Amino acid sequence: MEKAEAAAFDIRGESGNNQVVFMHLDLASLKSVKTFAETFLKSEPRLDILVNNAGVLSPGRTDDDFGMAFGVNHLGHFLLTNLLLERMQRSGPSRVVTVASHLHCIGNIKFSLLTSKKDSVTGDYIWHNFQAYCNSKLCNMLFIRELANRLEGTCVTCYSLHPGVVYTEMGRNINWWLQLFLIPFAKLFFMDPERGSQTTLYCSLQEGIEPLSGRYFSNCALQEVGSRARDDTLAKKLWELSEKFSSS
């Protein structure tokens, strides 16, 4: 919260816009998502752009006992978007932008695991954490695909994107010895956050891309997606299960 308040203070100073505010939201808690949405809807009359940008690559469970990557990267965003969707429809034209990844291509969804373990993987080792992240990125892709189908004919459009390989604190919870190896490499070869935000800004602000709702972008351009991310049956099944999870 302190970092967020400091960031909001800096943005207000640099932009001259005093309407920049911070609201607490923990996507690892469905209760927190619902509280945030309630607070937002009471205080803000409109919502033009929703960017689902949070992401974790770490072990552990959410407050609701879901695997961390599935719970934060997909389910928290799924619930948040649906709680705010009516306000976005009243504010239209508006956009939902979800940050996914090219790693969705090696993601997989096993519904038997999700229903029995509330997770997309069976273990908690480094490889399992990485695979869970890839699986959650496939969930992001399928979420946007099904959302676009459901929003067809409305004033709300939605997009998914690959931001590039960006040097952020996303991996701050991985093993310290792996961080020692990765951080110098990341500083040399990964994008900084400003460059890594360009495709997010493109999907949020670019005029004329409304007919491309539900599509996937990278480097500010339209991209093809992996075969699983084009599966409408899979997308609908994930949506229905996510509804059940987020309402329980």
User: HEC profile for 76-115?
Assistant: HHHHHHHHHHHHHHHHCCEEEEEECCHHHHHCCCCHHHHH
Total-model pTM: 0.89
Residues listed for the chain: 248
| Range list of β-strands (E), the chain | 49-52, 94-99, 156-162, 216-218, 221-223
Evaluate whether 214 touches 144 at the Cβ level (below 8 Å): yes
Dihedral, 32, 35, 36, 39 alpha carbons, nearest 10 = -160
CA distance 101 to 192: 16
Q: Which two tokens stand for residue 233?
A: 């049956």
Is residue 173 over pLDDT 80? no
Instruction: Give the model's confidence band at 27: pLDDT under 50 very low, under 70 low, under 90 confident, else very high.
Output: very high
Instruction: Work out the mean pLDDT of the chain and round it to a whole number.
Output: 90
Q: How many domains does the chain have?
A: 1
Cα separation of 57 and 165, whole Å?
14
Paired tokens of 36: 């945030």
At residue 170, the pLDDT reads 53
Q: Is the pLDDT of residue 123 over 70?
A: yes
Q: Is the pLDDT of residue 186 over 50?
A: no
CA distances (Å), origin 229, targets 9, 109, 234: 39, 11, 8
- The domain that holds 38 is classified in CATH as 3.40.50.720
Give me the sign of the Cα torsion angle 196, 201, 207, 209: positive
Q: Which of 125, 133, 159, 216 is catalytic?
A: 133
Least confident of 24-28, 137-141, 179-183: 179-183
202 is annotated as an active-site residue? no
pLDDT at 180 over 60: no
Range of the domain at 55: 1-247
2, pLDDT greater than 80? yes
Residue 242 has pLDDT above 50, yes or no: yes
End-to-end CA distance of the chain: 28
